Chains A and B, each alone.
Chain A
Amino acid sequence: MENSWIFVLFGAEVIAAICAAELRNLRWATIAIGIQSLLLVGIICSFAYLSSNHSLYWWAATAFIIKVLLIPWLLWTYTRKMPISEVKPIIGLAVSLPIIAIILVTTYLYTNVYLYPNFVNVLPPVYQGIVQTAGINLSLGLAIFTLGIYILLVRRDTIKIVIGLVVMENGAHLVLVSLAPTLQETAEIGIACNLVITSWLLLYLSSKIFELWKTKDSTSLSELKR
């Protein structure tokens, strides 16, 4: 298969996302999210090379600074203020891994088989020579996006929830790479900066909640239901 090396990146991206989801040590999960973001940068650079679309190199640079450096640094900093062990999730590892596998496979197959014929005509002209690769990237992006939503739904730890948000945004970023590679750099920077500020604010609020009530468990934030 041509460009088979990019599929290695795709596979590694999925593994890193699963590690970010399942590692109970939040520092290791932070490292996993940093690696996942680094692989994302690699995928963006690969598309830039394959499609000769040099604006994607700016995307990669932005993603590197924000997703590989800044966000993992923020997560690392806040894991020093709170316990590094994740609050016990709603679903344990033995059940969670098969669910993740089902989510990833189902989303990927649904997108690549059912939706893809609709999308194949909408992939940008710049991907004319690599339609299949771009299509697979699109499906992968949606799968990782769905994985991010899964993390947000079943994880109780407030730091793991931020990690889930980053996984979700990384999935959205992959979708952007497939569908809108000629998007203006300023828009790309705006989207990425929003993620940094959102992550920081969520971590800040989590740390304040922990400081006052000694809990990282988001399900204990239920005073307002009463």
Chain B
Amino acid sequence: MEVTKIQSILPILVFAVPMALSIPIFFARGRKAFREWLAIGGLVATLIITILIYLNVVATGETKALVWNEWFYVDGLSVLMEFIVAVMGIIIVLYSTKYVAHGEPEAGEGKLSLYYGLLVLFVGIMNWTCATNSLITLYVALELGTLATTYLVAFDWRRRSLEAGYKYLLLITVGVVFSLLGGVLLYSAAGSKGALFLNELGKLAPQIPHTIALVSCGLFIAGFGTKAGLIPFHAWLPDAHAEAPAPISVLLSGVIINMGAYSLVRTVTIFAPLYHEVVLFMAIIGSVTMVLGILMALVQDDLKRLLAFSSVSEMGFIVAGLGLGTYLGIYGGLFHMLNHTIMKGLLFFCSGALLYATGTRKISELRFIPKKMLITSFCFIVAALAIGGMPPFNGFMSELALSLALGQSGLLWVAIVLIVAGFLTLVALIWAGYRIFWTKPNLKLAPANPKPREAKEVPALMWGGMLFLAILCILFGVYSQVLYPLLNSAANGIMAILPVP
């Protein structure tokens, strides 16, 4: 399958525009509305550019890519990631306008300008990650993304969030360096500049000696797997997700760890058709991550930590599919990546809404939320059912695709592990939802906290985005063919690069 390349400036604009628009936000102190409107404006502009790229790359139905010389390459997969980043970015900013001010009433203008500026800058950096065609620049951009979000993770500036921010930065930096070594090893082994370009990796992969290819894949899995939160490289994830403000938890779960998976599919998946060891190793890591992640989630009382461990588990699902190197595996993995962003994002938004309304995120203290939080409870249940793989929600469709792909590839045992992990996820989330929304507090166990009984629904800027994501959970489950052109283009973009075994 040949990829038609079209020279265009759009691959540059998609990251340059948000980066440029983030600069005035940093200096917009004392001008709250201007700052927030500029942030939203910047992200809407990014979304428009992404739509233009979509029309050029995906809407034609052919396998195309927009390029800028050889250094930028935007195919269907890049478009998918850029859509995720732009749409979630807009919802996060809108949610933050109410959430951050409520949670940090004494936050100065400087701190808030830094928050929104870093958010928009981060969107630009993530789009740069998806647009770059260089393996080394991919590493640089991923690291820059980590640096941009460290402050956001530690935003509350309390002991726990400072600790989380410190661990987040240190562990990811140390982990991702392994991917740099892997990239350099490939570059050297291929003996040409081509190995540095992601779209050329497939052509050079058969020439790379067996040992070096496997060592490189191992280094990539260690490096990008750290970013993706795979076990055993996940130590940073639960702390960072739990202690960051809820909108930033959505960012971490919906964008940052997806970038780890994106990097894996750009590098490790390329070798999957050539070496069955790669497929098997990714399947094993995926299976262990699926099971251990959800088992750790089951014992959490902190709602955000529960969701964080669930994210670890879901990354196992995604990686098991992407590691197959088949069309259905890649399609299923990317479908689940998109769905996970929506479902987990919605759950973190709900946890933020509960924290906003009641001041606590402990499940044991959240009992008996009155019917005044109908929208939050509806959204939570939709997301819980979706992520648990129940029809007719979107999670069911992507898990079905993954199970079929795994079965087709002869890895039926992994498909069984996936189904079991999916069931455990359903149990964990529904049990949490039941305890929060339908159980009266046991005052002997939980401290008397009248706030849950007095809680009321969050502002519209918060529940609006939540409702939108809940509708997507239903829409993409009932009518998942609406996603077919985008996911098909993304999967074909990778298939076109894969070497023929």
Contact = CB atoms under 8 A, between A and B. Distances in A.
A188 B239 CA distance: 32
Contacts of B238: 224
Contacts of B177: 168-169, 172
A191 B191 contact: no
Contacts of B144: 194, 197
Nearest to A138: B188
B209 A205 contact: no
A213 B160 CA distance: 12
Contacts of B150: 201, 205
A224 B162 contact: no
Contact of B143 (A118, A194, A205, A213): A194
Interface string B138-171: 0110011001001100100101101111110110
A212 B162 CA distance: 10
B480 interface: no
Interface residues of A, number: 42
A2 interface: no
Interface string A180-220: 10111001001100100110011001101100110000100
A118 B212 CA distance: 8
A161 B174 CA distance: 11
Given A180-B184, A180-B188, A202-B170, A224 B165 contact: no
Contact of A123 (B143, B167, B188, B211): B188
B360 interface: no
A165 interface: yes
B180 interface: yes
A179 interface: yes
Nearest to B166: A205
A119 to B, nearest CB: 8
Contact of B167 (A125, A175, A221): A221
Q: Is the interface of B mostly helix, strand, loop or mixed?
A: helix
A152 to B, nearest CB: 6
Most buried by B among A122, A172, A212, A213: A122
Interface in B194-245: 196, 209, 211-212, 238-239, 242-243
A4 interface: no
A149 interface: yes
A191 B163 contact: no
B173 A205 contact: no
A172 B169 contact: no
A71 B151 CA distance: 20
Nearest to B168: A205
Contact of A224 (B136, B160, B193, B196): B160
A107 B152 CA distance: 38
A213 B185 CA distance: 43
Contacts of A123: 188
B174 A205 contact: no
A183 B187 contact: yes
A218 B191 CA distance: 42
Given A221-B163, A223-B159, A205 B137 contact: no
B147 A165 contact: no
Contacts of B143: 194, 198
B284 interface: no
B163 A197 contact: no
Given A168-B174, A172-B181, A122 B209 contact: yes
A128 interface: no
A123 B187 CA distance: 10
A175 B184 contact: yes
Given A122-B209, A187-B134, A198-B147, A179 B188 contact: yes
Interface in B107-146: 134, 136-137, 139-140, 143-144
A149 B171 CA distance: 11
B174 A165 contact: yes
A213 to B, nearest CB: 7
Contacts of A3: none
Nearest to B143: A194
Contacts of A9: none
B189 interface: yes
28 contacts: A121-B209, A122-B189, A152-B170, A165-B170, A168-B177, A172-B177, A172-B180, A180-B184, A180-B187, A182-B193, A183-B196, A184-B136, A187-B136, A187-B140, A190-B137, A191-B140, A194-B140, A194-B147, A201-B147, A205-B150, A205-B162, A205-B166, A205-B169, A212-B162, A223-B159, A224-B160, A224-B238, A224-B243
Given A124-B191, A198-B143, A224-B164, 5 more contacts: A122-B212, A165-B174, A194-B140, A202-B166, A223-B159
